[in-house]
Amino acid sequence: GENVEQHPSTLSVQEGDSAVIKCTYSDSASNYFPWYKQELGKRPQLIIDIRSNVGEKKDQRIAVTLNKTAKHFSLHITETQPEDSAVYFCAAAAGGFKTIFGAGTRLFVKA
Amino acid sequence: DAGVIQSPRHEVTEMGQEVTLRCKPISGHNSLFWYRQTMMRGLELLIYFNNNVPIDDSGMPEDRFSAKMPNASFSTLKIQPSEPRDSAVYFCASSIGQGTNTEAFFGQGTRLTVV
C-alpha cells in the first residue's frame, strides 16, 4: 500500500523567510497530492492540492511542486507570517479515494 | 451546509466500556473516512466507505474497532471494549469522490480519553 514520508518533523523560520516541506510517496498509482494545515486544537483543512498531470501549482504565497519520476512533492511558503504557524500534512491518494497522510511538519514562524 | 458533523466532541470513558463515535458527512458526498490522530502516529486512516460500502478497513487496529454506514448521511465508529491506548482524536472526513480524488473535508473531531 501507499506510504508517505514527510520531512522535516519540525521547522522553525524567521518571519519573512521561506519554508519548504518535502514528502515522498511509494505508490506510483497515486495521482492526487493535497496539503492540509492544522492549527492547534482544530481540524485539518486543505490549503492547496496538485494532480499528477501538473508539475507545479501556485496560490499566492504557497506553491507545490511534484516530481512523478522521483515520487516526491514539496510545499513552499514564501514571506512567512506568524499565522502560518501550524502543523502541515502532505498526503497522497491513488484510485479508490484512499488518502494517506504524512506524519506532519510543525512549523514555527518567529516574529 | 454545516460541514461534517461529529459527536460527541469530547468523550471520557473507563477502560472496558463501549464507545460510539458518530459522523454526519456533507450532503452529496459519497466517500467517508475515519482517521485517528495521536502524537506518536499522526493521522492514521482507519477505514473508508464509498457509497455507504466499506472499501478498505485495513487500518482498523483490532477487532475491538468496528464501523458502519447504514445510510448516506450517518456513520459510526465503535470501540468495544475500550482501552487507554485508544485515547486519541478521531476525525471523520467526507469527499465527493466521483471518479477522481478530491478534497476531504474534516469534522471537528472527537477527543477520546479512556481512563
Question: A50 - beta bridge partners?
Answer: A33
A20-45 pLDDT per residue, tens: 999 999 999 899 999 999 999 999 99
Least confident of A54-58, A95-99, B47-51: A95-99
Decide if pLDDT at A96 tops 60.
no
B13-22 pLDDT per residue, tens: 999 999 999 9
Nearest to B65 by CA among B52, B48, B47, B78: B78
**Which chain B residues are closer than 8 Å to A101 by Cβ?**
35, 42-43, 45
- Confidence category of residue B54, pLDDT binned at 50, 70, 90: very high
Distance CA B14, CA B95 (A): 33
Distance CA A87, CA A20 (A): 13
- What value does the CA radius of gyration of chain A take, rounded to a whole number of Å? 13
Record: contact B55-A96, CB cut-off 8 A? yes
Decide if pLDDT at B11 tops 90.
yes
User: Which three cell numbers, joined as nine digits, stand for A24?
Assistant: 515522498
Decide if pLDDT at A58 tops 90.
yes
Q: Using beta carbons and an 8 Å cutoff, which residues of B are at the interface with A?
A: 31, 33, 35, 42-43, 45, 48, 50, 55-56, 58, 91, 95, 97, 100-109
